[in-house]
Amino acid sequence: MQRRTFLTSVGVGATAGLAGCLVGDGDDDGGDSDITVGIIYSTGGLGDESFNDMAFAGIEQAEEDFGISYQNAEPDEPADMNDMQRQFASDEDIDLVCCIGFDHETDLAENAEEYEDQRFALVDAVVEADNVANYTFREHEGSFQVGHLAGLLSTMDYAHGAGETDTDNARVGFVGGQEIALIERFEAGYIAGAQHADDGIETPSAYAGSWHDPATGQEIATGMYDEGADVVFHAAGGTGGGVFQAAQSAGRFAIGVDDDQSISAEEFSDVIVASMVKRVDTAVYESIEAVVNDEFESGMNDLGLEDEGVGATIGQDFDGDLPDDVVDALEDSRQAIIDGDIDVPDNLDDL
């Protein structure tokens, strides 16, 4: 598992100075291509240093490579998504509507049928229609990898950056955003990975109920660290910033999500030992590339470890410092998952 080999195709860690719920905050600097894309983010919003910023990185890269133009829309709540989808879909200048996040599914199922001549890309959900390209991820596989890392570290004496493990126990925590099946897939993979390292390890989990509540994220994670957790993994969007703050305060470790958060949230890089990277940027980029090349196809794109759609990337301050036996063990489990020798659960009932 080499950190930089995983992050090869596009720049990461982009943040945007865009704010508010809006449609039409466009970028008119497109060059060669006459393609225009409308992109609607999830309610976590731009600047989350995670899921939405990865999508933004993908469209920025498409702008740089193809000279496309794009318009952003940031919903304040899921109820805003229907109008935003319809505005973009009915705009004859828009060639592709990118819908980022599972909350788009219900509205898009209706709008894709009504706007049958428009093309849509949907990330994190599935709408079966002739004009929708769906991008889903095998989050449980990447989460298994970071869980395996957390479990290995929790069972050894390890100190680096601003963190160290407590050798009196073996415990790793998980903080989710909203308690939904998608995030439980992260949780299930993480717990299975930790138990792969040590079947007796304790794995407390809790949900903040929000994608943008770092105070609650910090409160939950602080409780886990106080109870002896060495590492806490979050799958909680902007709420995860509070997990990182708690890790620094406790002198323990944290694991980021979606983006390489040792870069996108660099002020916490001394405790972010790794991130479970999910290539939302690649999904956005490839959907646009297909339109640019007149190769758009509807259907499923389910991306896992083998496709490098998900995976573990070691934090920039920890790259080269982890013990060799840990790195080797992670590579072994990665290959075993790809080969089908490890069956990673995608729900909590199968743990």
Q: What is the DSSP string of 2-42?
A: -HHHHS-SS---------SS-EEEEE----S---EEEEE--
Q: Residue 69 forms beta bridges with which residues? A: 36
247 burial type by CB count under 10 A (0-12 exposed, 13-18 middle, 19+ buried): buried
pLDDT of residue 44: 82
| CA diameter of the chain | 63
pLDDT digit string (tens) for 140-150? 999 999 999 99
pLDDT of residue 31: 54
DSSP 191-223: HHHHHHH-TT-B--EEE-S-SS-HHHHHHHHHH
End-to-end CA distance of the chain: 25
pLDDT of residue 24: 43
State how far the Cα of 238 lies from the Cα of 53, in Å rounded to an integer: 11
pLDDT over 90 for what percent of the chain? Answer: 86
273-to-42, 142, 161, 316 alpha-carbon distances in Å: 27, 15, 9, 8
State how far the Cα of 297 lies from the Cα of 173, in Å rounded to an integer: 40
pTM higher than 0.75, yes or no?
Answer: yes
State how far the Cα of 312 lies from the Cα of 329, in Å rounded to an integer: 13
For residue 267, pLDDT beyond 60: yes
For residue 191, pLDDT beyond 50: yes
Contact assessment for residue 136 and residue 124, using Cβ atoms and an 8 Å cutoff: yes
Chain center to CA of 223: 24
Q: What is the mean pLDDT of residues 18-46?
A: 67
pLDDT of residue 93: 96
pLDDT digit string (tens) for 296-307? 999 999 999 999
18 burial type by CB count under 10 A (0-12 exposed, 13-18 middle, 19+ buried): middle
Q: Residues of 141-179 as b/e, b for ≥16 C-beta within 10 angstroms?
A: bbbbbbbbbbbbbbbeebebbbbbbbeeebbbbbbbbbe
pLDDT digit string (tens) for 119-141? 999 999 999 999 999 999 999 99
pLDDT of residue 30: 46
Provide the pLDDT confidence category of residue 15 given band limits of 50, 70 and 90: very low
pLDDT of residue 6: 34
Query: Could you tell me which residues come within 8 angstroms of residue 110 by beta carbon, excluding any fewer than 6 positions away?
Result: none
**Six token digits for residue 192:** 């299975």
